Homo-oligomer: A and B are copies of this chain.
Amino acid sequence: MRRIGVQEEILSENDRLAARNRQLLEKKGVFTINLMASPGAGKTSLIARSIERLKGELRLAVIEGDIASFIDADRLASMGVPAVQINTGGACHLEAQAVAQALSRLSLEGIDLLFIENVGNLVCPTSFDLGESSKVMVSSVSEGDDKPQKYPAMFQAVDVVILNKSDLLGICPFDRDPFLRSVRQLNLGVKIFELSCLTAAGIDAWIDWLREGVDEMVAIRRPPESGGCS
């Protein structure tokens, strides 16, 4: 009982901070993706492909969550976008407080699209709202087609499922139709994109979805205080 009580307390404090992050990000008009997946499913590669396509067109930034190392932030910073690394020091997910700290290190006025790469984990990140505009998960062909049944909460929590490593269809054992059926059974309204970050096949539809998200965020952004014209 005590354990559940403490967990609820942590989650409710997290929700409070996440709401504050969301308010700030909406005010600044930053379309923000909380990107979740198993280790090695291709989160960083997806961000890299997205940067490659959108760099001249949108103002991008990245918050990188990892237990240890600066590998991903270094890789993405080398592509010329602001990248802040959060090292969780053992924790298995990002929390809103760490994201708030990372946001304070970015110039939000100059950002249209922000990727938050969560720790590689199909379980714990599901429970923690970060204040994002949209939750996106990456599942990869090489992980097998039974992941929706085994990790249902993740597939239910997200707005988008990306099936990555489509270049391995036919090489790795993976039954595409049952996978898609299981995803839709768990989450009727979910968007699904099939693509390969390695070859870039199928990436266009994902990029269009990002563009739409940025456009919608601009539309809901609070208009700046007018100086009046009386």
Contacts and interface: CB of A to CB of B under 8 A. Distances in A.
Interface string A1-22: 0110010001000000000000
Nearest to A122: B39
Contacts of A146: 69, 71
A40 B10 CA distance: 30
A205 interface: no
Interface stretch (A106-114, A136-144, A222-230): A136-144
Contacts of A169: none
Given A140-B142, A168-B171, A149 B69 contact: yes
A149 B71 contact: yes
Contacts of A218: none
A192 B38 CA distance: 22
B10 A150 contact: no
Contacts of A123: 67, 90-92, 119, 121, 124
Contacts of A38: 38-40, 120, 143
A177 B93 CA distance: 29
Interface in A140-159: 140, 142-144, 146-147, 149-153
Tell me what chain A mostly uses at the interface: helix, strand, loop, or mixed: loop
A71 B147 CA distance: 11
Q: How large is the interface on A (under 10, 10 to 19, 20 to 34, 35 or more residues)?
A: 35 or more
Contacts of A151: 39, 67-68, 120
A172 interface: yes
B149 A68 contact: yes
Contact of A121 (B40, B66, B121, B173): B121
12 contacts: A3-B6, A6-B6, A40-B142, A68-B149, A68-B152, A119-B123, A120-B151, A123-B124, A140-B142, A142-B165, A168-B171, A171-B171
Interface of A: 2-3, 6, 10, 38-41, 66-69, 71, 90-92, 119-124, 140, 142-144, 146-147, 149-153, 165, 168, 171-173, 198
Closest 6 A/B residue pairs (Cβ):
A40-B143, A142-B142, A92-B123, A69-B149, A38-B39, A40-B144
